[in-house]
Amino acid sequence: MFAGYDFDVIERSLPYLFREGMVFTLTLTALAMAGGIFFGTLLAMMRLSSVRVVSALAGGYVNLMRSLPLVLVIFWFFFLVPYLYGAVRGEGRPIAIGAFYSALITFTMFEAAYYCEIMRAGIQSIARGQVWSAYALGLNYWQTMGFIVLPQAFRNMLPVLLTQTIILFQDTSLVYVISATDFLGAAAKIANRDYRLVEMYTFVAVVYFIVSYGLSALVKTFQDRIAIIR
């Protein structure tokens, strides 16, 4: 089975695969996680708002994103963002922004919907008395959220947020469809140039497996350590 398996092509391309590809993948994952959690938390607060219009808007957005395939959303933003950017700059024509920023905006907006559902569950898991006590002490909405509710919600939901981030890390490989050079994209370029598809794709699978499996194991130990004793 490994007769004719060319390990050399992997070794030769290691610097390119990791310095270009993996750096792209990890940067995209980290920034999209930060942005996704930020907007996801805002969306969750909107969904739980007592103002009907606000909660309906946030709910509609989240349900829309969760009903569509990620590949379709990547295409949407890939073509839409240059138009919006052109309009914002007032030039009236689309301006190219490159695959990385397009992917970053896509994943931030897409993952925000998923992080929103996690944060919503987190906020709803906080005892109602906490909120009443905060209001009784004279804190306003933003102070109550910022000092009382969100810190506890984050802590309760941290393992789930991290698990979602591992899913995000795997999903970033779909930027292949807009020809970005992430880890998979870099491997695919070499695979096609040298006609070494078997070697490159098995190697990519092994690397993704090691990283994802390692991260989930970390999350598991982390979960035990930060668990709140009740």
Partner 1 sequence: MQYNWHWKVLLETEPGGTGTYLQYLIVGLGWTLATALVAWVLALAIGAVVGTLRTTSLKWAVRAGNLYVEIFRNVPLIVQMFLWFFVVPELLPQAIGDWIKQMPPPWGSYVPAVMCLAIFTSVRVAEQLRAGINSLPRGQRLAGIATGLTEAQAYRHVILPQAFRIVLPPLTSEFMNIIKNSSVALTIGLLELTGRARAMQEFSFRVFEAFATATVIYLLTNLIVVLAMRALEKKVRVPGLIAAQAGH
Residues in contact with partner 1 by the rule CB under 8 A: 1, 64, 67-72, 75-76, 79-80, 83-84, 87, 92-93, 170-171, 173-174, 176-177, 184, 188, 191, 197-198, 201-202, 204-205, 208-209, 212-213, 216
Is residue 138 within 8 A of residue 69, CB to CB? The reply is: no
Closest CA to 170 of 209, 200, 206, 203: 209
* Residue with smaller CB distance to partner 1, 25 or 144: 25
Which SS3 state, helix, strand or coil, does residue 4 take? Answer: coil
* Residue with smaller CB distance to partner 1, 115 or 145: 115
* Residue with smaller CB distance to partner 1, 130 or 179: 179
- Centroid of chain to Cα 155: 19
Is residue 57 within 8 A of residue 196, CB to CB? The reply is: no
Closest CA to 87 of 77, 95, 97: 95
Q: How far is the CB of 93 from partner 1 (least distance, A)?
A: 8
Q: How far is the CB of 90 from partner 1 (least distance, A)?
A: 11
* Residue with smaller CB distance to partner 1, 140 or 202: 202
